[in-house]
Amino acid sequence: MQTVIPAWFEIGSAVVLVLILAVDMFLAFRRPHIPSTRESAFWIAFYVVLALLFAGALWAIGDADHAGEFVAGWLTEYSLSIDNLFVFLLIMARFSVPRKYQQEILMVGIVLALIFRGVFIVLGAQLIEHFSWIFYLFGLFLIYTAANQAFTNHDDEMENESRIIAFMRRRMRFTPHFEGARLRTVVDGKKVFTPALIVFFALGSTDLVFALDSIPAIFGITTNPFLVFAANVFALMGLRQLYFLLGDLVEKLVYLKYGIAVILAFIGVKLVLHALHENELPFLNGGKGFDWAPEIPTIVSLGVIVVAMAIAVVASVVKLKMDSRKVTG
């Protein structure tokens, strides 16, 4: 049986995490610039160490199960956030966002992601508490998402979004120039929208789609709303710096999407097995659980996540080097 995490720790941690994000956002708007490689690497390392220290605190205050669930959830959300980052790159390129303004706009995208995920965490927790059969739907949805992740191109996903943006351009007046993250400006004495509004819409719709994927995935690791929230916040921390550190390299990690697909499919199967084990649907096995359906432990989930991402990254780097040799050869 798991140890209960003290309320003071949950509240204190939530306040500290929100304050860190608030400071990060303040710095992004106060000092808009292109972070250097050294600066980006420092902040990413800082947030990773912070997450590991948080896991250590969970182990000390709670137990190893809480710490393991957090780490597995954090890594799952982090891998999905990197995929989210790739779409951010496509959006920035498509709308020709000046590099000096990308930091501010990215921060807004990250805040939107956090808001959407927060809403889905609350909804998901309520659904799980009142309807245990929701795990069947979560599991099947993740298996579908895994297949979609493996066989769908991000460019294809953005086509429908482009139609909506084209409609916005026809109905609303836009200036061709960006003015930082400002949504409106004045041209010839008239208020008009800046392209930032379109970019925010694209980022927001992307965040919404990724929230729909990521929240069922994290609930496949832990049903503790606090751990779900913490894993998502830590996954989004440093995402802005990671964007500038990796840059075009994310696009070159061609096998990354397959690693993420494997993780989503595994968690989807895990959720279905959990639903079968705890079955309460009267038309299945008389409303009783299936004894043959195993409960997959957190340590196995953690192993699958780490191995899948490691293989995807290493395979991508090997392919990148082989392609480079062919060009130079």
Range of the domain at 134: 7-328
As for how many domains the chain has, the answer is 1
Residues paired with 187 in a beta bridge: 190
CB atoms under 10 Å from CB of 278, counted, come to 14
Question: Does 83 fall in a domain?
Answer: yes
Question: Does 306 fall in a domain?
Answer: yes
Q: For the whole model, what pTM was predicted? A: 0.80
Q: Spell out the residues 6+ positions from residue 191 whose beta carbon is closer than 8 angstroms to its own.
A: 184, 185
Following DSSP, what letter does each residue of 237-254 receive, concatenated? Answer: TTHHHHHHHHTTHHHH-T
pLDDT values of the chain reduced to their tens digit, one per residue, 329 residues:
567 788 898 889 888 888 887 887 777 777 666 777 788 888 888 999 999 999 999 999 888 888 999 999 998 888 888 777 777 777 887 777 887 778 778 888 888 888 888 888 888 888 887 777 888 888 888 888 888 877 776 555 555 556 666 777 777 777 777 777 777 887 777 788 888 888 888 888 777 777 877 888 888 888 888 898 899 888 888 787 787 777 656 667 778 888 888 888 988 898 888 888 877 778 777 778 788 878 888 888 888 888 998 898 889 888 888 877 776 65
CA distances from 302 to 65, 226, 295 (A): 12, 19, 14
Question: Does 2 fall in a domain?
Answer: no
CB atoms under 10 Å from CB of 205, counted, come to 18
Question: Does 185 fall in a domain?
Answer: yes
Residue 225 token pair: 């709303």
Question: Does 196 fall in a domain?
Answer: yes
Question: Does 221 fall in a domain?
Answer: yes
Question: Does 151 fall in a domain?
Answer: yes
Question: Does 1 fall in a domain?
Answer: no
Return d(Cα 153, Cα 150) in angstroms, integer: 8
